[in-house]
């Protein structure tokens, strides 16, 4: 099933990326898990090799490649088990805000560093009391002469410790309409009044730095308003399609990897004189997993194609994110059952995956939010 038209250039890029990661990044993967952070040097390696922000135009230091290169990078990072290195967040979720909405001055100032890995980015929407309902945020942004004064806090921010630049959503308290009150602001590391809180201890994704961010009379220049004032909510909604799509293709490739590892284990593990995979219950379970994975891949690839063609694939994106993330959680659980006692050992790589993937049904919009949007799309 060839829905996406990968060229030989795409395939060669994938081969080179895989070889690069195996040599430069995978050997350090376990240390990152122990340290609970990916060093900035790893980001710079990715940038120097040309694997960050592949869609950024050449005018701003990027290679100006098509979206399939983003898909390749995210898939291969996921396949290599580098869950702490959230290049998809940086390259395909945060940086596109600057590419799409930034002023020429902002693009020239920030994008080359994003491409090289010298600038690591984050986006700060979620607050302690406002998660999926972005318009319910409490963080404020008030004008004071030529400056904007930010006050409030954000939580569950990926790249929160490492980030050199964070796009912050905040509202003008003088604007009554809660949607048009929201604007986006660029806050740079080292800005007075911008501080990091604790790095959050999570169930999984241990190498991914997730933190609280605090803004106390944090003053930024008006030049750091991203896009038009009051258009923040619309900009966030516009970019959520790609954010959830990025989540889906990382999820699907993870499921494919689990299936591959489980089949290999069942074909090489002997039980009562024959391979585990020859038992009917095991065969049926793997057949079900393979079918569901193939269906999720087909939906995802069709959605990526529509996204690249500029079509409205919001409903398909929600379906893909919801279906693949829920399926993945069930799949890794069933896979561990087939590993028997080995399924409970840290030496089994699927144990880490089991912890890592649980949150996928929550971040970038919960399953319930996905279902709500899907229901609205079908006229309910």
Q: What pLDDT was estimated at residue 132?
A: 63
CATH no. for residue 293?
Answer: 1.20.140.10
**Are 58 and 165 found together in one domain?**
no
**Are 225 and 265 found together in one domain?**
no
CA distances from 334 to 156, 255, 349 (A): 29, 12, 14
Percent of the chain clearing pLDDT 70 (strictly above): 98
Is 225 exposed, middle or buried, given 0-12, 13-18 or 19+ CB atoms closer than 10 A?
A: buried
CATH no. for residue 142?
Answer: 2.40.110.10
| pTM, rounded to two decimals | 0.92
Averaged over 337-356, what is the pLDDT?
Answer: 92
Residue 179 has pLDDT above 90, yes or no: no
**Are 351 and 275 found together in one domain?**
yes
Q: Is residue 3 part of a domain?
A: no
Percent of the chain clearing pLDDT 90 (strictly above): 87
Which of 104, 119, 134 is the C-terminal boundary of a domain? 119
State the helix-helix crossing angle for 367-377 and 314-338, rounded to 10 degrees.
Answer: 140
CATH no. for residue 63?
Answer: 1.10.540.10
Residue 20 has pLDDT above 70, yes or no: yes
Q: Which of 243, 260, 341, 346 is catalytic?
A: 243
Residue 75 to residue 18: CA distance in whole angstroms: 10
The pLDDT-based confidence of 137 (bands split at 50, 70, 90) is confident
Residue 82 to residue 54: CA distance in whole angstroms: 18
Averaged over 95-109, what is the pLDDT?
Answer: 97
Q: Is residue 286 part of a domain?
A: yes
Which of 95, 119, 143 is the C-terminal boundary of a domain? 119
Q: Is 243 a catalytic residue?
A: yes
**Are 111 and 143 found together in one domain?**
no
**Are 88 and 155 found together in one domain?**
no
Number of domains in the chain: 3
CA distances from 218 to 28, 167, 189, 257, 330 (A): 36, 14, 11, 44, 44
Q: Is residue 171 part of a domain?
A: yes
Q: Is residue 24 part of a domain?
A: yes
Which of 230, 251, 278 is the C-terminal boundary of a domain? 230
**Are 105 and 185 found together in one domain?**
no
Q: Which residue has the higher pLDDT, 359 or 128?
A: 359
Residue 28 has pLDDT above 90, yes or no: yes
Q: What pLDDT was estimated at residue 10?
A: 97
Averaged over 232-249, what is the pLDDT?
Answer: 89
Residue 76 to residue 68: CA distance in whole angstroms: 12
Q: Is residue 151 part of a domain?
A: yes
Residue 19 to residue 24: CA distance in whole angstroms: 9
* Distance of alpha carbon 243 from the chain centroid: 7
Q: Is residue 1 part of a domain?
A: no
Q: How high does pLDDT run on average in the chain? A: 94
pLDDT tens across 34-45, in order? 999 999 999 999
Q: What pLDDT was estimated at residue 1?
A: 63
Residue 131 has pLDDT above 80, yes or no: no
**Are 197 and 160 found together in one domain?**
yes
pLDDT tens across 252-272, in order? 999 999 999 999 999 999 999
**Are 178 and 219 found together in one domain?**
yes
Residue 133 has pLDDT above 80, yes or no: no
Q: Is residue 2 part of a domain?
A: no
**Are 198 and 265 found together in one domain?**
no
**Are 20 and 83 found together in one domain?**
yes
**Are 333 and 238 found together in one domain?**
yes
Residue 128 has pLDDT above 90, yes or no: no
- Domain with 277 in it: 234-377
**Are 358 and 245 found together in one domain?**
yes
Q: Is residue 244 part of a domain?
A: yes
């Amino acid at each position: 099933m060839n829905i996406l038209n990968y060229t030989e250039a795409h395939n060669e890029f994938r081969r080179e990326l895989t070889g690069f990661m195996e040599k430069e990044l995978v050997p350090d993967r376990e240390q990152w898990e122990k340290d609970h952070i990916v060093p900035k040097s790893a980001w710079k390696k990715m940038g120097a090799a040309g694997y960050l922000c592949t869609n950024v135009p050449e005018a701003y230091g990027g290679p100006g490649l098509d979206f399939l290169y983003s898909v390749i990078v995210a898939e291969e990072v996921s396949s290599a088990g580098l869950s702490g290195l959230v290049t998809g967040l940086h390259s395909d979720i945060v940086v596109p805000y600057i590419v799409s909405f930034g002023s020429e001055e902002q693009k020239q100032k920030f994008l080359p560093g994003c491409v090289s890995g010298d600038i690591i980015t984050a986006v700060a929407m979620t607050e302690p009391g406002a998660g999926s309902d972005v318009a319910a945020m409490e963080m404020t942004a008030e004008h004071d002469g030529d400056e904007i004064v930010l006050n409030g806090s954000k939580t569950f921010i990926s790249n929160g410790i490492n980030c050199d630049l964070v796009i912050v959503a905040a509202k003008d308290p003088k604007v009554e309409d809660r949607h048009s009150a929201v604007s986006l602001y660029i806050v740079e590391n080292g800005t007075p009044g911008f501080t990091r809180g604790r790095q959050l201890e999570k169930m999984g994704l241990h190498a991914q730095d997730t933190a609280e961010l605090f803004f106390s009379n944090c003053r930024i220049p008006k030049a750091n308003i991203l896009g038009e004032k009051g258009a923040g909510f619309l900009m966030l909604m516009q970019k959520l399609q790609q954010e959830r799509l990025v989540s889906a293709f990382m999820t699907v490739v993870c499921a494919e990897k689990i299936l591959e590892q489980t089949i290999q284990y069942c074909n090489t593990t002997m039980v009562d004189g024959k391979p585990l995979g020859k038992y009917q219950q095991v065969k049926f379970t793997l057949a079900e997993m393979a079918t569901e994975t193939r269906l999720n891949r087909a939906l995802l690839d069709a959605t990526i194609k529509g996204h690249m063609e500029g079509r409205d694939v919001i409903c398909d994106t929600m379906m893909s994110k919801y279906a693949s993330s829920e399926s993945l959680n069930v799949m890794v659980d069933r896979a561990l059952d087939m590993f028997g006692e080995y399924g409970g050992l840290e030496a089994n790589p699927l144990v880490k995956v089991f912890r890592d993937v649980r949150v996928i049904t929550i971040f970038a919009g919960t399953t319930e939010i996905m279902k709500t949007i899907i229901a609205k799309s079908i006229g309910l």
